[in-house]
Structure 1
C-alpha cells in the first residue's frame, strides 16, 4: 500500500513539471528511487530490495533504446525506471504496454491538431494511390514534423495509473507486499 502512495506522489509531481517545463527533475526522481529501495528493504527484506532493483533495471531498459535514438528524453527513461523500483518488474512491463498505447494516442492527437494536417493527409493519400497504381512517388521531406515533441511523462503516468487501477486501484491493498508479489 505504501508503494501506491509513493507512486501517486511521483506521478503527480512529474506530470505537472513535464507539462509546465517539459522536464522531469532528478531532484524528484532520485530521492523517490532511494526511498523505494530502502522501503522495500525494510518492509520485504533482501528479496524486496532485489525485486525493486530488478524493476529499476527493467524500467530503465524499456526506454533506453528510444532514448539513444533521440526519440525520448532522459527524464522519461528515469521516470519509468523509478516506477519499476516502486512497483516491480511485472507492473512496469504491463504499465509500459499501456504507456505505449497512450503515447500513440497522444501522437495521433498532436498530428491531427498541428498546422498542415490536411496537406499531410493529402500527401499520404497520393502516395498510397500511386503505390496501388505502380507509381513510386517521393516521400515528402518535412523537417517540422521531426521537431514536434510532447510531454511523454503523461503517457508514462497514464500507463502506470491504468495498471494500478487494473490491479485494484490506488490505495487499495489486496495483500500485495511489494515488487516481488506484483
Structure 2
C-alpha cells in the first residue's frame, strides 16, 4: 500500500512538471528510484530487489525504441522504468498498454483541437500525462486494491 501511495505522489509531481515545463526531472526520478529499491528490499528482501530491477529494465525497454526514434523524451522512458521498479514487470506491462490507449486518445484530441492531422504534425504532447494515466488505471484494475 505504501508503494501505491508513493507511486501516486510521484506521478502527480511528474504530471505537473510535464504539463508546465514539458519535463520530467531527474531530481524526481532518481531519488524515487532509490526509494523504490529500498521499499522492495524492505518488503521482500533481495528477491524484492531483483523484482524491482527487472521491472525497471522492462519499463525502460518498452519505451527505448520510441525514444531512439525521437518520438519520446528521456524523462518519459525513465518514468516508466521507475513505475516498473516500484511495482514490477507485470504491472509496468499493464501500465504500458493502458498508456498506449490513453496516449492515442490524447493524440486524437490534439489533432481535433489543431484542426486536422497535417496541422498537428510536429506538435509534441506531454506523454508523462498518458503514462501517469496508464499507471493509475493499472492501479485501479489491480485486484489487490479492491
Interval containing the TM-score (normalised by the shorter chain): over 0.9
Which whole-Å CA distance do the structure 2 matches of 1:27 and 1:46 have between them? 26
After TM superposition, the runs of 4+ consecutive aligned structure 1 residues lying more than 4 A away are none
RMSD: 1.4
8 Å CA contact 2:110–2:120 kept in 1: the answer is: no
Which whole-Å CA distance do the structure 2 matches of 1:93 and 1:18 have between them? 22
Match of 2:128 among 148, 153, 175: 153
In the other structure, the counterpart of 1:30 is 30
Structure with higher helix content: 2
Unaligned runs of 5+ in 1: 121-141, 175-182
Question: Cα deviation per residue 1:87-128 (whole Å; 9 max; x = unaligned)?
Answer: 00000001100000000000011001104x2xx5xxxxxxxx
8 Å CA contact 2:23–2:75 kept in 1: the answer is: yes
TM-score (norm 2): 0.95
- 1:92 partnered with 2:67: no
Q: Report the alpha carbon displacement of residue 147 of structure 1 after superposing the two structures with TM.
A: 1.7
2:114 aligned counterpart, secondary structure: coil
1:147 aligned counterpart, secondary structure: coil
Which whole-Å CA distance do the structure 2 matches of 1:93 and 1:168 have between them? 16
8 Å CA contact 2:84–2:91 kept in 1: the answer is: yes
Q: Report the alpha carbon displacement of residue 43 of structure 1 after superposing the two structures with TM.
A: 1.7
Q: Report the alpha carbon displacement of residue 168 of structure 1 after superposing the two structures with TM.
A: 4.2
1:24 aligned counterpart, secondary structure: coil
Q: Report the alpha carbon displacement of residue 145 of structure 1 after superposing the two structures with TM.
A: 3.6
Matching of residues 19-98 of structure 1 within 5 Å: 19-98=19-98
Count of residue pairs brought into register by the alignment: 146
Unaligned runs of 5+ in 2: none
Q: Report the alpha carbon displacement of residue 42 of structure 1 after superposing the two structures with TM.
A: 1.8
Which whole-Å CA distance do the structure 2 matches of 1:110 and 1:55 have between them? 31
Q: Report the alpha carbon displacement of residue 23 of structure 1 after superposing the two structures with TM.
A: 0.3
